[in-house]
Copies of this chain bind each other. A is one copy, B any other.
Amino acid sequence: MNGFFYPRTATGQAALIPPPPWHYSGDLLTVEYRTDPERVRELLPAPLELAPEDPGAVAFIWADWQSCRASKEELLDPVLSQYKEAFVVVRCAFQGVTYSRCVYIWVDKDFAILRGMHQGYPKKLGSIHQTRPHPYGPAPRVAVGATFGATVAAADRRLAEAVLTLTHESETNGFVNSHPMAHHRVYPSIERGAQTDAYSELISSGSASFEAGPAFAGDVELRLFEAPTEEVARLEVEEIIGGYYRQVGVVWDGGSTLAKLIP
């Protein structure tokens, strides 16, 4: 049987996602801020702990992606390669090492959901938008002075929106999402009435390779909205750290198990 995740067939042609490596071109709009660290702690299952430094730091990140396998074939049928996402990253610690961790994420394609299942991102469908830079007409250039908007909605409700004006080139694109990711991969038990997981592991992963243009920092506003099936607004904005914009090329090629939890 062939096919990386599912469905599996004789040829593997129908598989929703190819095996890694996965190649990405994209634009990242990042808002970093501080919230009450207790709200971060609530989102860290064992064996994770709060990061020792700046434990309430949060990154709200929008990304506008094109992704493909090494042959790039999905790029030429772009319904198979283009997707957008918005996600929330906190920091945490495991065995004395600081990791980044995605606690909420919305995407707009099924292949992105299944890649998230593989990588441990808790992906829901959403409607995600960010202003695209362009060299002509009214859209902003990637340059000091440019202003970008970013929004995310799910289940017919606006969840968050940001406006970022670039003020200067920056040495960093933020720090909250700069560690390897520490994610759980879980499978609830199929048994009737079970409240346990059949499978659970803690994994770590990061980019296999990375290229990027200059990072820009700027003035940013972020608004979070309540919704009946979301909790992102609990991560209240107490203090803005900064806003960042960067165009990147990334390769992701797997990770490694930090801890087998179940069985």
Contacts and interface: CB of A to CB of B under 8 A. Distances in A.
Interface string A49-87: 000000000000000001110001001111111100000
Contact of A9 (B194, B203, B231): B231
Contact of A76 (B10, B153, B163): B163
Contacts of A16: 122, 124
A219 interface: no
A222 interface: no
Interface residues of A, number: 104
A145 interface: no
A7 to B, nearest CB: 4
A75 B149 CA distance: 7
A27 B137 CA distance: 11
Interface in A135-174: 135-140, 147-151, 153, 155-158, 161, 163
Most buried by B among A134, A137, A151, A195: A137
A35 interface: no
Interface string A179-192: 00000011110111
A42 to B, nearest CB: 4
A188 B4 contact: yes
Contacts of A201: 190, 198
B156 A25 contact: no
B198 A79 contact: no
A127 B127 CA distance: 12
B103 A7 contact: yes
Contacts of A242: none
A78 to B, nearest CB: 4
A1 to B, nearest CB: 5
Given A193-B254, A230-B14, A199 B187 contact: yes
Interface of A: 1, 4-11, 13-14, 16, 19-20, 23-27, 42-43, 45, 66-68, 72, 75-82, 103-104, 109-110, 113, 117-119, 122-125, 127, 129-132, 134-140, 147-151, 153, 155-158, 161, 163, 185-188, 190-195, 198-199, 201, 203, 205, 208, 211-213, 228-232, 247-250, 253-257, 263
Given A26-B137, A135-B213, 8 more contacts: A7-B122, A9-B42, A14-B104, A77-B149, A81-B131, A136-B213, A191-B255, A191-B256
